[in-house]
Amino acid sequence: MKTLVCTTPGAFAYQEQEKPVLGKDRAIIKIKRIGVCGTDLHAFRGTQPYFSYPRVLGHELSGELVEADNAPGFAIGEAVTFIPYFNCGVCIACRSGKPNCCVNIQVCGVHADGGMVEYLSVPSRLLVHGEGLSYDELALVEPLAIGAHGVRRADVQAGEFVLVIGAGPIGLGTMEFARIAGANVIAMDVSNDRLEFCREKLNIQHTINPAEADAAEELRRITNGDMATVVIDATGNLKAIEGGINYLAHGGRYVLIGLQKEAFSFSHPEFHKRESTLMSSRNATRQDFEHVIASMKQGLVDPKTYITHRVDFDQVKDQFENWLNPEMKVIKAMISHAD
């Protein structure tokens, strides 16, 4: 089968590999869609922590279930997605119902080879029913689940002011699930195009561009002087992470979804006087995947609007580098396999 391998940073090669053979407790998916994620772009650039090469990228996947062992309730031919965080099942996190932060986690397409293939073998227990959604929609469940998980971590309540910093695909999903939780969502980004997208496509009423306005002052005005009771960073940008504390209401929660490889710091008095709660939010769980799918089915979220670029699997090698160019204004690139 044809496989696209990131051989070294900056280089892709199509290689012929053996089609996977069905193993015990495994399922084989004929891949139909591969969403391209910031992680994939960083991996291609060579700026993603914990990466080794060669690596097959791709973890936002959907496809047709073609073979399965020990997958009760799943039918051959069914459209599926799956949870791409392969967890060990025995560590403290797994035993505590947090497989998303398993000590020995192997994220498909990050620590283990991923979905830029024709057929992929995955653990049957991580399959997720397609529920009648399209392959495009199913490939968008994972990135949305990341945001849904962050919103759940923050325990967002109706009526709260939630500031989401970063309007990339993860930030957009975070905003949608904060809105679904009933929050007053405020989007912050340095790109006016992205903020316009938030207003027009996501119906977010409040947007702030910190490059153009006194962001703290704007936020104070929007929140009637209170500031945001929840601040969620979806940038992973060091300055953004360090600055986010200044937007937090007293008694608020600060959640970091974006990942930064350097140490961050902020003023202890600023952190302390708020009695701030700081948390990271890593990956997502089955509960988040199911919440995303249910929300899509109810029409509460339509992430197909995120898809700005489409390409056939055969053309990825030539197109991928373009998506790194900010002028291309990529929100979500979607790779399709011919049917």
Interface residues toward Zn ion, by CB under 5 A: 37, 39, 87-88, 91, 94, 102
DSSP letters for 206-218: EEE-TTTS-HHHH
Q: In the complex with Zn ion, which residue's Cβ is closer, 170 or 202? A: 170
Of 115, 120, 122, 159, the residue nearest 139 (C-alpha): 115
Minimal distance, residue 210 CB to Zn ion, in Å: 25
Measured CA to CA, the distance from residue 89 to residue 102 in angstroms comes to 8
| Strands 184-188 and 206-208, bridge-based pairing | parallel
Tell me what percent of the chain is helix, strand and coil, each rounded to the nearest 5. Answer: 35, 30, 40
Minimal distance, residue 258 CB to Zn ion, in Å: 12
Minimal distance, residue 104 CB to Zn ion, in Å: 5
140 and 303 Cβ atoms separated by less than 8 Å: yes
Q: In the complex with Zn ion, which residue's Cβ is closer, 39 or 285? A: 39
Q: In the complex with Zn ion, which residue's Cβ is closer, 161 or 177? A: 177
Let me know how many helices (H) and strands (E) the chain has, helices first. 11, 17
Minimal distance, residue 253 CB to Zn ion, in Å: 23
Q: In the complex with Zn ion, which residue's Cβ is closer, 81 or 207? A: 81
Minimal distance, residue 125 CB to Zn ion, in Å: 13
Minimal distance, residue 273 CB to Zn ion, in Å: 35
Minimal distance, residue 256 CB to Zn ion, in Å: 16
Q: In the complex with Zn ion, which residue's Cβ is closer, 144 or 183? A: 144
Identity of the amino acid at 131: E
Count of all residues that appear for the chain in the document: 339
Residue whose C-beta lies closest to Zn ion: 37
Of 209, 251, 213, the residue nearest 231 (C-alpha): 251
Report the 10 Å Cβ neighbour count for 107.
19
Q: In the complex with Zn ion, which residue's Cβ is closer, 91 or 190? A: 91
Measured CA to CA, the distance from residue 65 to residue 79 in angstroms comes to 6
Q: In the complex with Zn ion, which residue's Cβ is closer, 86 or 254? A: 86
Query: What DSSP character marks residue 55?
Result: B
